Structure 1
Amino acid sequence: MVSSPASTVSVIHSLGLKGGKPFGFPLVCLNGARGMEIRPSGMKYPLHDNAAQTTPTGDVSPTEVVGSLRFVELFHEPVPQNVAVKALGLAKELRLVTNYYIGHEIHAQPKEESHFNLTQRYTELTGTQIVHCDDDYGALLKQGLPSKLVVLCDSSELDCVCSKLKEALEGQANVVRGSPPFFVEVLNKDVNKGRGLELMCKRLGVTPEEAIAFGDGDNDKEFLGVAGRGIAMKNARDAVKEVADEVTEWTNAQVSHLASCTEQNSSSAHSIDYSFFL
């Protein structure tokens, strides 16, 4: 099991499964940002064609395709309006910019140079384009509730911003310190990767105890805790390592470099069975 698309290749190779041998178990990319942030350029292994998408109503619809990749939506519980309004208001008070996720788009209202720099950094990180708005997110709130909000800030302010959001929202949201450390995520209080893993295992007909999970960020804590074996990357935060059963000897960057070198000398193509997104 893989906690984020960016580390998919790293984890594949950290398992030592190279040289054309089949995995022998389903390999899954579990992503908390829906399909928009998984790009073909970042996923070098093909997906099977047998996945189906589950809509928020529970109906099964044709598989969604992003580039050459296919995705399964496990569940979608947006941020309640009162929580979204509070979070947006606090971000404005702190003179910060917020990314508003709705459908398969990200909207933001950058006003200062630092805002534009941060939204550009987020675009480079995720490979997504951000649509600019100019009405304090008013039209978006009328259009629909956000899947999540991402408050962008300087790394030096991150812990303070995270604490202020948690205090203001009073347990009504899942507030997560971002990685890399320049943003804070605000999610529905019942949304986390641990719950996603439970639903994914149910769909695949296995138990969470049979799953191996890899992660490095604060949003991976529940994920590693629910899995039968939770493995933290060497570069993971201490809070993640504390809930993990094991810590790898390598960082994501080190293993990605190894993966790149290995791929140049291998003609094998491993297959990712599903890519689930929340």
Structure 2
Amino acid sequence: MYKMIAIDLDGTLLTDELAVTKDTATAIRKAAELGVVVTIATGRMYPSAQHIALELGLEAPMITYQGAVIRSATSEEVLRERMVSYEIAQKCIHLAAEKQMHIQVYQDNVLYSAVDNEQVKAYSKEVGIGYTVEPDLLGLAKKGFTKLLFIDEPEALAPVQEELQTVLGDAACIEKSKKRYLEVTHPDANKGSALAFLAEELGIDRSEVIGIGDNFNDMDLVKAAGFGVAMGNAVDELKEIADYTSLSNNEEGVLHVLNKFILEPRASAVEASKK
């Protein structure tokens, strides 16, 4: 019996309309009532994930900012936090300026952009979180960032990702979370290491954990889980390493996983115990 399931948000739990279907929400609540730890594992900032978790009634610590922050939706306690150093942030900000590319940063659960442009406006609308314009991102960087995010077309991001990986090496975690999103976090801030940490904290063995996602930033999550699931709409690279491929996010792929691997096995066990 699986005791924990960690679910990505965009492209996984959320439909393309950025909604959780009614049946999926019901199944999540039912799994939680049965004692299963249901948690969110997202690249989104904490306040954005918190809003969704509260709607679903989730109380387990959440993995946010790609694994940089683990914190419950209902508690002030931070179980783990990994910040990007000033040196790494400085290199990213300089590179963004050199490439004339949008970059936004996260600090103390606030989203900052040096300019008020279409990229940050669209992002803010998508995740339902406001932002603050601060021209001096380097000044902010001295306190450390939870995450930095480059936003541009895929063909523009590809060489930037390659350059960052060459320059930064193992000093940072550099991952695509969407076609137009390239994220930079602390080297230990990925969904896989966060999931392993959280499971250990909760006394749950890796073999009892399901991890489900759809994109490159979910690779570590799927590998760290005892049973890794790729959505039907996932990138091919994730499907190749997953133990199972579900339906797409618009076909209630998370609901399918909850029913097949958590709710139905428990119902069968109850029936068997009555015989």
Q: Same fold judged by TM-score > 0.5?
A: yes
Q: Any idea what SS the aligned residue of 1:171 has?
A: helix
Confirm or deny: 8 A CA contact 1:47 1:70 kept in the other structure. Answer: no
- Report how far residue 195 of structure 1 moved: 0.7
Taking the aligned partners of 1:19 and 1:47, their CA distance within structure 2 comes to 8
- Report how far residue 139 of structure 1 moved: 2.2
Taking the aligned partners of 2:52 and 2:61, their CA distance within structure 1 comes to 22
Give the aligned partner of residue 208 of structure 1. 206
- Report how far residue 190 of structure 1 moved: 1.6
Give the aligned partner of residue 271 of structure 2. none
Give the aligned partner of residue 73 of structure 1. 78
Q: How does 1:134-149 map to 2 (within 5 A)?
A: 134-135=135-136, 137-142=137-142, 144-149=143-148
TM-score (norm 1): 0.74
Distance 1:39 1:27, change over 3 A: closer
Pair 1:223 & 2:221 matched:
yes
- Report how far residue 168 of structure 1 moved: 2.7
Give the aligned partner of residue 134 of structure 2. 133
Q: Any idea what SS the aligned residue of 2:40 has?
A: strand
Give the aligned partner of residue 254 of structure 1. 251
Structure 1 stretches of at least 4 aligned residues deviating more than 3 Å after TM superposition: 5-24, 31-34, 41-44, 69-74, 256-259
Taking the aligned partners of 1:225 and 1:175, their CA distance within structure 2 comes to 17
Taking the aligned partners of 2:21 and 2:200, their CA distance within structure 1 comes to 23
Taking the aligned partners of 1:79 and 1:148, their CA distance within structure 2 comes to 7
* C-alpha RMSD over aligned residues: 3.2
Q: How does 1:112-191 map to 2 (within 5 A)?
A: 116-135=117-136, 137-142=137-142, 144-179=143-178, 181-191=179-189
- Report how far residue 84 of structure 1 moved: 1.0
Confirm or deny: 8 A CA contact 2:90 2:138 kept in the other structure. Answer: no
Residue deviations 1:90-140 (CA, integer Å, cap 9, x gap): 1110001211111111111127xxxx11111211222211211123x1320
Give the aligned partner of residue 268 of structure 1. none
Greater RCO, CA 8 A, separation 6+: 1
Residue deviations 1:203-243 (CA, integer Å, cap 9, x gap): 11111111011011111111110111000001111121122
Give the aligned partner of residue 94 of structure 1. 99
Confirm or deny: 8 A CA contact 2:150 2:183 kept in the other structure. Answer: yes
Q: Any idea what SS the aligned residue of 2:83 has?
A: coil
- Report how far residue 199 of structure 1 moved: 0.9
Confirm or deny: 8 A CA contact 1:214 1:233 kept in the other structure. Answer: yes
- Aligned-pair identity (%): 22
Q: Any idea what SS the aligned residue of 1:44 has?
A: helix
Taking the aligned partners of 1:96 and 1:39, their CA distance within structure 2 comes to 29
Distance 1:138 1:24, change over 3 A: closer
Taking the aligned partners of 2:13 and 2:35, their CA distance within structure 1 comes to 17
Where in structure 1 are there 5+ consecutive unaligned residues?
54-62, 260-278
Give the aligned partner of residue 2 of structure 1. 6
- The letter for the 2-side match of 1:38 is A
TM-score (norm 2): 0.75
Give the aligned partner of residue 110 of structure 2. 105
Taking the aligned partners of 1:257 and 1:25, their CA distance within structure 2 comes to 15
Distance 1:178 1:257, change over 3 A: closer
Where in structure 2 are there 5+ consecutive unaligned residues?
15-19, 63-70, 257-275
Give the aligned partner of residue 266 of structure 1. none
Distance 1:41 1:210, change over 3 A: closer
Confirm or deny: 8 A CA contact 2:7 2:211 kept in the other structure. Answer: yes
